[in-house]
Amino acid sequence: MTNLKGLIGTQIKAIRKANGLIQQDVADRVAENTGQMSFSKSRISEIETGKQNTTLETLEMIIKALGVKPVEFFDFKKIIEEDRENEIMDKSLLLDCHYSMLKERELDEVKYVVKTTKELFKTMDGKKKKN
């Protein structure tokens, strides 16, 4: 899964859950908004998990079905801030999200995070050696 597909899928799932929707709700709304007979719940699932590419047209329909504006949808910082259930399972995606958050911080704050992370890794490595 590419990072963009991962971000988009994770964002769809996060917004859907935050709005108390199930995948079938989103599929039904997409179908209703487009006048289609149906839109598959499994297609929503495959997009959320990054198993299927989506066109911009389909993504626009899904964003509308979720009830958010495109600018809100593409605010990926919320994914990492609200990742309480550790839904981000792709290492590159998780690193990209953290990079995005850190680049907005002041240099002294980034240095503090790096220093603290190094200390944490040192502690973790020490525990691994003892086991």
Query: pLDDT by residue (tens digit) across 84-95?
Result: 455 666 677 777
Write down the pLDDT at residue 82: 62
Q: How large is the average pLDDT for residues 55-66?
A: 94
Under CATH, what is the fold of the domain 3-100?
434 Repressor (Amino-terminal Domain) (1.10.260)
Q: Give the pLDDT band (50/70/90) at residue 131.
A: low
What percent of the chain clears pLDDT 70, i.e. is strictly above it?
85
Indicate left, alpha or beta for 67 from its phi (over 0: left) and psi (-120 to 50: alpha). Answer: left
Domain boundary assignment for the chain: 3-100, 106-130
- The separation between the first and the last C-alpha atoms of the chain, rounded to the nearest angstrom, is 34
Longest dimension (CA), the chain: 63
What is the DSSP annotation of 30-58? Answer: HHHHHT-S---HHHHHHHHTTSS---HHH
Q: How far apart are the C-alpha atoms of 56 and 108, rounded to whole Å? A: 39
Q: How large is the average pLDDT for residues 109-128?
A: 90
Q: Tell me, yes or no, if the pTM score tops 0.85.
A: no
